[in-house]
Chains A and B, each alone.
Chain A
Amino acid sequence: MKRLLKGGHVVDPTQGIDGASDVLLDGDRVVAVGRDLAVDSGVEVIEIPDGLIVCPGFVDMHVHLRDPGQEHKETIASGTAAAAAGGFTAVACMPNTQPVNDSAAVTRSIVERAALLGVVRVYPIGAVSKGMKGESLSEIADLKGAGCVAVSDDGRPVASALLMRRALEYAGMFGIPVIDHCEEPTLKGEGVAHEGFVASMLGLRGIPAAAESIMVERDLALAEMTGTPVHLAHLSTRQSLRAMDAAKSRGLKATCEVTPHHFTLTDERLTGPTSYDTNLKMNPPLRERADVDAVLQGLRAGTVDVIATDHAPHQQDEKAVEFDRAPFGIIGLETAVPLALDRLVHRGVITFRRLVQLMSVNPSRILNLPGGSLRPGRLADVTIIAPSAAIVIDVTRSKSLSRNSPFDGWTLRGAVAATIVGGRTVFVNGEIAGLAALRAAGERG
């Protein structure tokens, strides 16, 4: 079954395309991209309304699907439905499930269940260490064989420098990256908020910026020593970004990501009408203005490679407690694209083309995924964006099983119009006009 996405504005940095173009899909592959492609008989033509942008499918390389083990927070089905609604055609899921994804058996079960229930592609990330205990390496070759695209102990740092060295050396042999959650555990201590004036006044135990940047520096030194790639998750401080920038200047194979909440919110949000809102509690914590500015500068200058959500669902009851007893984390799959468009593209921090790099091309490249490009022969994973549509975030309409977002009620400019995975339409935004043909195509499968 051939489908032609006709008349859209295509942005694909891998082919240098940024303009009016058609995309021809055949089954689960892209077969042609170009202006005014000839329409053979038997090709279903789907007109893309004016103003919409057609991009290679977005990839969120940092998601907690909570499945297996915490299915009351999220499941593979609900998490991938939220991903589709957020414009993501693939997600990489972190291994802190119950049981921890530290064996091929768990990986295979995730892969199999995702094939059955997943709305978008799911790429598991295996644990660096057995049980994520930070003691001995998990069977990384086995994990990769079963489908893991990276290893990480995310949620916890790899505290031991020696274990981190071994992980980099060993995983490097198989060409899969080690993703580290950078945090020096003794400095973080019992901290629940960024250490600074706001936490001091609120009487909240602080997590100093140095708890993150010390580990960033350590990981970069180890990556330099081992000559293997490292990917640093959710960087949040100006010191971390400075270290990353310096590492890139000396040619290190290191990459990093930032989250939408870290480029949007500061810790000042914890005061005033939303004081002690547990939906503002995440790790790393919301930082100061100067840190947010550094994150924005990193996005602009190229220090930052990826925007990832760190989607971390928690049930309402778990969050409706005292601030220091609430779990860390917020959901983010459905707010990432609107926040990126509103806060970054429309405010001139980055171009739309760079957004596609940050959310599609780069995460695909780092994890060696087949997506991230609309070149003929590649996967027919497509994200269609309505960059000027105004939307109001309403968590009650989220596809996620959880509602823990600090962005509820926000009005933002920029929305996901549709998501296509392997040629199948998996999401169409009912509030964007002119997408009936796409919706009908989705219903036919």
Chain B
Amino acid sequence: MSPETTPTTTGAPQADDSPIPTSRLRRKDLVGIAELTAEEISLILDTAVAMKEISSRPIKKVPALRGKTVVNLFFEASTRTRTSFEIAEKRLSADTLNIAASTSSVVKGETLADTVHNIEAMSPDLLVVRHSSSGACHFLSRICRAGVINAGDGMHEHPTQALLDAFTIRERKQRIAGLKVAICGDLLHSRVLRSNVLLLTKMGADVWLCGPPTLMPVGFERTGAHMTSSIDEAVEGADAVMMLRIQLERMLGGFFPTLREYFNVFGMTPERVRRAKPDVLVMHPGPMNRGVEISSELADGPSSVILDQVANGVAVRMAILYLLAGGAEHEAAA
């Protein structure tokens, strides 16, 4: 695997003479941050800057993906991510189709491969896939002609979320390298965490992970991130603090005794955040459990960039759709 970007100046010229600078992801799919280089990540974030402007126009639509068909294939319920992808696709003029697979053929016992082959028979260009099994997008990317964009696979990765988080940090801090980013909450079950750790360490951030040891993935120090169960240590001097959702069913799994005790030990409050830098960014991928991992005061406070994250999600997903749509057929034929 040798992913690389080629910001060249010898693109195919259109009408007039000056050569057009070009670049793209040399890949058909975006299955994870693990496969991306720092250059590719920068390309996506730079492209997203241009895409963000489109959302401020009177007519929030450009014809870039006219005639392309994008299928949003969600095997797991999601409002936020699916809506964000759908808006991004529509702003680029793609034809979009939403399939909530949990309500269709899968219930009838059809395999994932059969479901996707049936959709592929209708010639979509890109598949945006959310699935409850880790690795489902890797599996699909191997059997699909269309490009596959991972919109979250099990406990593995959620690459577009990490990219929009990075975009939000870079927009506010003008850089990622050298920043201290603390990520707190249910580390074990979080695909957002895995993508963020991979991305932030690739881009040179100082990453601190905090949660109860019962919710820490084994061996994660090897990523270069610091692991601690002290929220104060994690937050100390941080430039950004990212909270991860505590799923209520984890309490029943015995990972911690009660939500009350969890909030008392790990909940993020204005008092705890005072140890961070004064201009700290408070982030959350959503949906939030107010009063469990984050206090309402903090979520709605001046440091919170939670709604910026949502807005930036559209721009980042537009960038990814645009960059992948151009390369899909080429890579598949190769």
A positions within 8 Å CB-CB of B = 195-206, 208, 272-273, 275-276, 317, 320-325
Also in contact, A322 and B219, with CB within 8 A (given A203-B155, A203-B157, A317-B111) = no
Q: How far is the CB of B196 from chain A (nearest CB, A)?
A: 13
Also in contact, A203 and B153, with CB within 8 A (given A197-B222, A323-B135) = yes
Q: How far is the CB of B74 from chain A (nearest CB, A)?
A: 15
Q: Residues of B contacting A195 with CB < 8 Å? A: 218
Q: Is the CB of B113 within 8 A of A320?
A: yes
Also in contact, A202 and B134, with CB within 8 A (given A272-B1, A276-B139, A322-B112) = yes
Please report which residues of chain B, range 208-228, place their CB below 8 angstroms from some CB of chain A when the two chains form the complex. 217-220, 222-223
- Across the interface, name the chain A residue whose C-beta is closest to B222: A197
Also in contact, A203 and B191, with CB within 8 A (given A197-B220, A321-B111) = yes
Q: Is the CB of B133 within 8 A of A325?
A: yes
B positions within 8 Å CB-CB of A = 1, 34, 111-113, 131, 133-136, 138-139, 153-157, 191, 194, 217-220, 222-223
Also in contact, A200 and B217, with CB within 8 A (given A276-B138, A322-B139, A324-B133) = yes
Cα separation A201 to B194 with both chains bound (whole Å): 7
Q: Is the CB of B154 within 8 A of A203?
A: yes
Q: Is the CB of B153 within 8 A of A321?
A: no
Cα separation A201 to B136 with both chains bound (whole Å): 15
- Among candidates B133, B155, B220, B222, residue contacting A322 with C-beta atoms closer than 8 Å: B133
Also in contact, A203 and B1, with CB within 8 A (given A197-B218, A275-B138, A320-B111) = no
Q: How far is the CB of A130 from chain B (nearest CB, A)?
A: 31
- Across the interface, name the chain A residue whose C-beta is closest to B188: A200
- Among candidates B34, B113, B138, residue contacting A201 with C-beta atoms closer than 8 Å: B34
- Among candidates A200, A204, A317, A321, residue contacting B219 with C-beta atoms closer than 8 Å: A200
Interface of B is mostly: mixed
Count the A-B residue pairs with Cβ separation under 8 angstroms: how many?
Answer: 64
Cα separation A200 to B215 with both chains bound (whole Å): 11
Q: Residues of B contacting A196 with CB < 8 Å? A: 218-219
Q: Residues of A contacting B222 with CB < 8 Å? A: 197
Cα separation A322 to B111 with both chains bound (whole Å): 9
Cα separation A378 to B157 with both chains bound (whole Å): 59
- Across the interface, name the chain A residue whose C-beta is closest to B191: A203
**Nearest 4 Cβ contacts at the A-B interface:** A197-B219, A276-B135, A203-B156, A203-B155
Q: Residues of B contacting A199 with CB < 8 Å? A: 218
Q: How far is the CB of B291 from chain A (nearest CB, A)?
A: 28
Cα separation A317 to B111 with both chains bound (whole Å): 9
Cα separation A213 to B134 with both chains bound (whole Å): 27
Known: A203-B155, A322-B135. 4 other contacts (CB 8 A): A195-B218, A203-B153, A276-B139, A322-B136
Q: Is the CB of B112 within 8 A of A200?
A: no
Q: Is the CB of B154 within 8 A of A324?
A: yes
Cα separation A238 to B156 with both chains bound (whole Å): 27
Q: Is the CB of A204 within 8 A of B135?
A: yes
Q: How far is the CB of A270 from chain B (nearest CB, A)?
A: 9
Cα separation A196 to B139 with both chains bound (whole Å): 22
Cα separation A324 to B131 with both chains bound (whole Å): 12
Q: Residues of B contacting A321 with CB < 8 Å? A: 111-113
Q: Residues of A contacting B134 with CB < 8 Å? A: 202-204, 276, 323-324
- Across the interface, name the chain A residue whose C-beta is closest to B187: A200
- Across the interface, name the chain A residue whose C-beta is closest to B197: A201
Cα separation A332 to B156 with both chains bound (whole Å): 30
Cα separation A317 to B114 with both chains bound (whole Å): 10
Q: How far is the CB of B28 from chain A (nearest CB, A)?
A: 15
Q: Residues of A contacting B111 with CB < 8 Å? A: 317, 320-321
- Across the interface, name the chain B residue whose C-beta is closest to A271: B34
- Across the interface, name the chain B residue whose C-beta is closest to A198: B219
Also in contact, A203 and B194, with CB within 8 A (given A320-B111, A322-B136, A322-B139) = yes
Q: Is the CB of B218 within 8 A of A323?
A: no
Q: Residues of B contacting A275 with CB < 8 Å? A: 135, 138
Q: How far is the CB of A76 from chain B (nearest CB, A)?
A: 29
